Chain A
Amino acid sequence: MRAVMLLTARDLRQAWQSGGLWLPVAFLLLVASLYPFAVGPDAALLRRTGGGMLWIAALLASLLPVDRLVAPDRDAGMLDQIALRGIGEEMVVLARLIAHWLGFGPALMIATLPAAALLKLDGPTIGQLELGLLIGTPALAALGLLVATLTAGMRSSGALSGLLALPLAVPLLIFGAGTLGDGSGAALKFLAAASLLLVAITPFAGGAAIRAGRE
């Protein structure tokens, strides 16, 4: 547990120092400000489609830092040095998942507020959106990290990451955007289930991917 905390603190510090934390936020705001230019300033149309658009933006924003998540540490020998100390790869991935979510989930949720204003979303929709993102961003973080562990060490891993992650993100998108027009709460429960699944398998699948990458 102590090792996980040390690793999480280090991963957060690294993310902060690299300046990569602003990237997803800037991307989300950029999409939100471009969208009205593309579909026109019709407030009713923006209100109806803006929530879904923000989910797509959040999903794509979560893919931006993927090539920086695992590959640099792998190439620098950090992961090997950690393994030498008897710390399991699962713990390494778990620590990184926590740090990655802390670095990008809350920031994305805050950025959603001005973005929602740009898209003329109403109060209840913003509430649903934020709740959905609270449940969904850990899954987006887990998915990005999982893909990062799988593609670490490959050339042109960036393009491959997108191809790998997007099909897996479809359930999150369906249920996440589905929460917006859904009063029954069923979509939220499905989103939570999909999120739980991704968060639960990522440390194990990612740990196995890192180990396999050593051979």
Chain B
Amino acid sequence: MIRPKSRPKTRTALRLSGVACVRGGRLLFRGIDLAMEPGGSALLKGPNGIGKSSLIRVCAGLLRASAGTVERHGGVALTDERLALDMEEPLGAALRFWARLDEASPPALDRAMAAMALENLADVPVRMLSTGQRKRAALARVIASGAPIWLLDEPGNGLDDAALELLGQAVAAHLTGGGIVVAASHQPLPLTSPIILAMADYLPVLSTSEEEAA
């Protein structure tokens, strides 16, 4: 049941065509097309509540697209506002649980923690960590997972300048290594020529019948 780590036959890819999403009976967006190849990155833009997080969850397969198709080749790693780490565990042990599920090697986890400057916090219980440190821990899990497709929902929230720098380096290294990054972020990320998805362009237009009803 665990995702294969490498798929040499199929190239890493993320393709969306004509994707629409309905949340709570309301059509959030429709007609989103996105084709991403190794090394590609996309940046979701738009005001709060426009559906950036929902689109990221659709990409991850956690939400069903109400129309259109989502095609993924390669494993997915996601970070969003929820930490998903056991609060009472030391940070190292909490991350190790996910590394085991990901079948990531201990050195890979150590490297990921070093990449987010978390080495000194391995013995600190997760509940004692600050907002920025928790965010870095979630990012370390993404890095350690070895998944080629990264979905980052506001990865820079709560990070200080030094941590943003580390995040930028990690993203750049991932893209150089043939990974894919889809991010919704208000902070600048060092994405080289990302596909900009302005979510406002995909708002549903009212059909005539709806306009009459209104």
Chain A interface residues toward B at CB < 8 A: 1-4, 6-7, 10, 14, 17-18, 75-78, 80-88, 91, 214-215
Task: Give CA–CA (A3, B85) in the complex, Å.
Answer: 17
Closest to A73 in B: B84
One digit per residue, 1 when the CB lies within 8 angstroms of any chain A CB and 0 when it does not, for chain B 1-26 equals 11100000000000000000000000
Q: Give CA–CA (A75, B85) in the complex, Å.
A: 11
Main secondary structure of the interface of A (DSSP, over half): helix
Please name all residues of chain B whose beta carbon is closer than 8 Å to the beta carbon of A86 when the two chains form the complex: 1-3, 75
**One of B63, B77, B82, B100 near A6 (C-beta < 8 A):** B100
5 contacts between A and B (CB under 8 A): A17-B88, A82-B101, A84-B62, A85-B102, A91-B1
Q: Known: A84-B78, A215-B64. Is A6-B97 also a contact (CB below 8 A)?
A: yes
Max chain B Cβ within 10 angstroms of own Cβ: one of A4, A7, A18, A84:
A84
Q: Does B80 contact A (CB under 8 A)?
A: yes
Q: Quick one: given A81-B98, A84-B77, A215-B64, are A76 and B82 in contact (CB under 8 Å)?
A: yes
A3 touches B84 (CB 8 A): no
Expressed in whole angstroms, the Cα–Cα distance for A87 and B2 within the complex equals 6
Q: How many interface residues does chain B have, given as a range?
A: 20 to 34
Give A74's nearest chain B residue, CB to CB.
Answer: B82
**Residues on the B chain within 8 Å of A75, using CB:** 82
Q: Mark B79-107, 1 if CB is under 8 A from A, else 0.
A: 01011111011000000011011100000
* Among A14, A75, A82, A86: residue with most chain B CB under 10 A: A86
With A6-B101, A17-B88 as given contacts, are A84 and B63 in contact (CB-CB < 8 Å)? no
State whether the Cβ of B32 lies closer than 8 Å to any Cβ in chain A: no
> How far does the Cβ of A96 sit from chain B's closest Cβ, in whole Å?
14
Find chain B residues with CB under 8 A from A81 CB.
78, 84, 98, 141
Collect the chain B residues with CB atoms within 8 Å of residue A214's CB: 62-63
Residue of A nearest to B102 (CB): A85
A10 partner residues in chain B, CB cutoff 8 A? 86, 97
Q: 17 more A-B contacts (CB under 8 A) besides A80-B82, A81-B98, A88-B1?
A: A3-B2, A6-B101, A7-B101, A10-B86, A17-B89, A18-B88, A75-B82, A76-B82, A77-B82, A77-B84, A81-B78, A81-B141, A85-B2, A86-B1, A86-B75, A214-B62, A215-B63
**Nearest CB in chain B: distance from A215 CB, A:** 7
Q: Are A87 and B101 in contact (CB under 8 A)?
A: yes
B152 to chain A, nearest CB (A): 13
A80-B82, A84-B60, A215-B63 known; A2-B2 Cβ under 8 A: yes
Q: What residue in chain B is nearest A18 (Cβ atoms)? A: B88
Closest to A1 in B: B1
Residues of B with C-beta under 8 A to A91: 1
Q: Which residue of A lies closest to B88 (CB)?
A: A17
- Nearest B residue to A75 via CB reads B82
* Chain A nearest CB, measured from B35 CB (Å): 21
CA distance A2 to B60 in the complex (A): 23
With the chains together, A1 CA to B2 CA distance in Å?
A: 9
Complex CA distance for A75 and B82, rounded to whole angstroms: 8
CA distance A75 to B78 in the complex (A): 16
B171 interface residue (CB < 8 Å to A): no
